[in-house]
Amino acid sequence: MPDYILEMRSITKSFPGVKALADVTFSAERGEVHAICGENGAGKSTLMKVLSGVYPHGSYGGEILFEGKTCEFSGIRDSERAGIVIIHQELALVPHLSIAENIFLGNERRGRGGLIDWHKTQAEAAELLNAVGLGEEPTTPVGQLGVGKQQLVEIAKALAKDVKLLILDEPTAALNDNDSAHLLDLVRALQERGITSIIISHKLNEIEATANRTTVIRDGQTVETLDMVAPDVNVDRIVRSMVGRDLESFYPERNPTPGEVVLEVRDWTVRHPQQDRLVVDGASFEVRAGEVVGIAGLMGAGRTEMAMSLFGRSYGRFVSGRTLIHGKPVAPRTVAEAIGHGLAYVTEDRKQLGLNLLDTITRNVSGAALPKLAKWGFVDANLEAKLARHSMDSMRIKAPSVQSVVGKLSGGNQQKVVLSKWLLTGPDVLIIDEPTRGIDVGAKFEIYTLINEFVESGKAVVVISSDLLELLGTCDRIYALSGGRITGELPVAEANEEKLMTLMTKEKEAIG
Partner 1 sequence: MTVTASRGPKGALAQPPEKNGLGELRLALTRNLRTSGIYVALVALIALFALITGGASLSAGNVTNIVLQYSYILVLAIGMVIVIIAGHIDLSVGSVVALTGAISAITVIKYDLPWWVGVLAALATGLLIGAWHGFWVAYVGIPAFIVTLAGMLLFRGLTLFVLDNVSLSPFPDEYGVIASGFINGWLGGYGYDVFTLVVFALGVVGFAMSQYRSRKARMGYHQPVPPLSLFALKILAVGVLVMAFAWKLASARGLPVVLIMLAVLIMAYTVMMQHTVFGRQIYAIGGNLAAASLSGVKVRAVNFWIFVNMGLLSAVAGIVFSSRTNGAQPGAGNMFELDAIAAAFIGGAAVTGGVGKVVGAMAGGLIMAVMSNGMQLMGIDQSLQSVVKGLVLLLAVAFDIWNKRRAGAH
Residue 433 contacts residue 303 (beta carbons within 8 Å) = yes
Out of 32, 40, 124, 175, which residue is the one contacting ligand ATP (CB under 6 A)?
40
Say how far apart CA 480 and CA 73 lie, in whole Å.
Answer: 49
Say how far apart CA 151 and CA 290 lie, in whole Å.
Answer: 38
Q: Judged by CB, which is closer to Mg ion: 321, or 411?
A: 411
Confirm or reject binding of residue 53 to ligand ATP (CB under 6 A): no
Q: Which residue is nearest to Mg ion (CB)?
A: 45
Closest to 140 measured CA to CA, from 132, 130, 150? 150
Confirm or reject binding of residue 19 to partner 1 (CB under 8 A): yes
Say how far apart CA 463 and CA 344 lie, in whole Å.
Answer: 12
Confirm or reject binding of residue 312 to partner 1 (CB under 8 A): yes
Q: Judged by CB, which is closer to ligand ATP: 215, or 482?
A: 215
Say how far apart CA 232 and CA 218 lie, in whole Å.
Answer: 21
Partner that binds at residue 442, options Mg ion, partner 1, ligand ATP, none, CB closer than 5 to 8 Å by kind: partner 1
Q: Compute CA distances 96 → 141, 143, 150, 162, 344, whole Å.
A: 6, 6, 13, 25, 32
Say how far apart CA 132 and CA 153 lie, in whole Å.
Answer: 8
3-state SS class at 12: strand
Confirm or reject binding of residue 215 to Mg ion (CB under 5 A): no
CB of 438 to ligand ATP, least distance (A): 6
> Which stretch, 63-71, 141-149, 240-248, 280-288, contacts partner 1 (CB under 8 A)?
240-248
Out of 33, 43, 268, 346, which residue is the one contacting ligand ATP (CB under 6 A)?
43
Torsion of CA 491, 281, 316, 455, to 10 degrees: -20
Angle at 388 between CA 383 and CA 391, to 5 degrees: 125
Out of 8, 11, 18, 472, which residue is the one contacting partner 1 (CB under 8 A)?
18
Torsion of CA 509, 287, 352, 386, to 10 degrees: -160
Confirm or reject binding of residue 44 to ligand ATP (CB under 6 A): yes
CB of 130 to ligand ATP, least distance (A): 32
Partner that binds at residue 40, options ligand ATP, Mg ion, partner 1, none, CB closer than 5 to 8 Å by kind: ligand ATP
276 Cβ contact list (under 8 Å, min separation 6): none
Confirm or reject binding of residue 398 to ligand ATP (CB under 6 A): yes
Residue 268 contacts residue 283 (beta carbons within 8 Å) = yes
Q: E strand or H helix at 196, and its extent?
A: strand 196-200
Out of 449, 469, 496, 510, which residue is the one contacting partner 1 (CB under 8 A)?
449
Could you tell me the sign of the dihedral formed by the alpha carbons of 447, 449, 450, 451, in that order? Answer: positive
Say how far apart CA 434 and CA 438 lie, in whole Å.
Answer: 9
Confirm or reject binding of residue 335 to partner 1 (CB under 8 A): yes
Confirm or reject binding of residue 45 to Mg ion (CB under 5 A): yes
Confirm or reject binding of residue 410 to ligand ATP (CB under 6 A): yes
CB of 40 to partner 1, least distance (A): 10
Out of 421, 437, 459, 485, which residue is the one contacting partner 1 (CB under 8 A)?
421
Q: Residue 129: what residue type?
A: L
Partner that binds at residue 249, options ligand ATP, Mg ion, partner 1, none, CB closer than 5 to 8 Å by kind: partner 1
Q: Judged by CB, which is closer to partner 1: 359, or 428?
A: 359
Confirm or reject binding of residue 462 to ligand ATP (CB under 6 A): no
Q: For residue 73, what is the DSSP state?
A: -
- In the region spanning residues 394 to 433, those forming contacts with Mg ion, defined by CB under 5 A, are 411
DSSP track, 332-394: --SHHHHHHTTEEEE-S-IIIII--TTSBHHHHHTTTTGGGGEETTEE-HHHHHHHHHHHHHH
Q: Judged by CB, which is closer to ligand ATP: 4, or 15?
A: 15
CB of 404 to ligand ATP, least distance (A): 7
Confirm or reject binding of residue 352 to partner 1 (CB under 8 A): yes
Closest to 442 measured CA to CA, from 173, 293, 268, 252? 252
CB of 293 to partner 1, least distance (A): 21
Question: How many residues lie near ligand ATP (CB under 6 A)?
Answer: 21
Contacts to partner 1 by CB under 8 A: 14-19, 41, 55-56, 59, 219-220, 243, 245-249, 252, 311-312, 314, 334-336, 338-339, 345, 347, 352-359, 363, 367-368, 370-371, 374, 377-379, 381-382, 385-386, 389, 392-393, 396, 398-403, 421, 442, 445-446, 449
